[in-house]
Structure 1
C-alpha cells in the first residue's frame, strides 16, 4: 500500500489560454481503465478483499480509514490517494461518510505523477 497526495499544494499553476487554476496530475494509462465514484455513507465500508488489478483510491470528500493485509488502519482525508497492487488485500471504511474516486487498470503507476505522502 502506498500513499500519495493530489491536493492543491501538490499541483502546478496553469496559465495557458488565459487560465488561472492549479492542476494536480493523477494518472495516465494507455490501456483500458475503469473509473468509478463511491459514495460511502455513515459507517460505510468497502469490505476486505483482494485487488483484481492495481487500484488507486482518491479521497475527494470526507475522511476514513484504509488497511492492507497488515491489519493496521491508516487515516485518510480529502486529497489523499491510496494505491494497492494487484492481489493486495485491502479494506476502506468511514465513520461519517466519504466520497472517493477509484481508478483500476493493469498499468497504473501513480509515482509518475504524484509525490509519495508520509502517512
Structure 2
C-alpha cells in the first residue's frame, strides 16, 4: 500500500489562455488512461480547447461551470461530473474556485446511477 497527496498543484497551466489553473499528474493506468488533479483559483478559467481523448471532469470541491462547443455555460458543483468526447471543444470556469479530478483515456463507458 502507498498513501500519497494528489492535490499538490505542481504545474501552473496557461495553455489555451487558462488563468488560475494548476495541475498535478496522479497516475497513468495504461498507455491510454491517466488521472490528473486540477485546482482552479477563484475567477479562474480553463481555456477553450478540444478534448484529446475521452475526458471526465469530477468536481471534488467547490463549484463552477462547464461549456461545450456552443459556449453555453452549465453550472456544476462538488459531486457532479462533465464528460467530453474526443475532439469536443470545451471550457471550464469558476467564480469561487474548485478542485477536480480529470480522467482521460478511452474508450469509456459512463455509468448511470445505481438503484439503491
TM-score of the pair, normalised by structure 2: 0.68
Partner Cα separation in structure 2 for residue 56 and residue 94 of structure 1: 17
Partner Cα separation in structure 2 for residue 87 and residue 37 of structure 1: 21
Which is helix-richer, 1 or 2?
1
Unmatched tracts of structure 2, length 5 or more: 1-28
TM-score of the pair, normalised by structure 1: 0.67
Unmatched tracts of structure 1, length 5 or more: 1-28
Q: How many residues are paired up?
A: 85
Partner Cα separation in structure 2 for residue 95 and residue 36 of structure 1: 21
Moved over 2 A (4+): 29-32
Higher RCO, 1 vs 2 (CA within 8 Å, ≥6 residues apart): 1
Q: Which residue of 2 aligns with 1:37?
A: 37
The structure having more radius of gyration, on CA atoms, is 1
CA contact (8 A) 1:41 1:97 kept: yes
Once the two structures are superposed, what CA deviation does each residue of 1:30-86 show, in whole Å capped at 9, x if it has no partner? 763110000101111110000010100000000000000111100000000110000
Which is strand-richer, 1 or 2?
2
